[in-house]
Structure 1
Amino acid sequence: MASRQTDATEQESTSDSDREKTLNFRVNEEFKREFKGFAASQGLSMTELLKEGYALSKKKRQK
Structure 2
Amino acid sequence: MNNEIVKLELEKSKINTKHILHFILTLLTGGFWSIIWIIATFRNQSRVKRIENKILELKIENEYRS
Q: Which has the larger radius of gyration?
A: 1
Q: What TM-score, normalized by structure 2, do the two folds share? A: 0.33
Greater RCO between the two (CA within 8 Å, min separation 6)?
Answer: 2
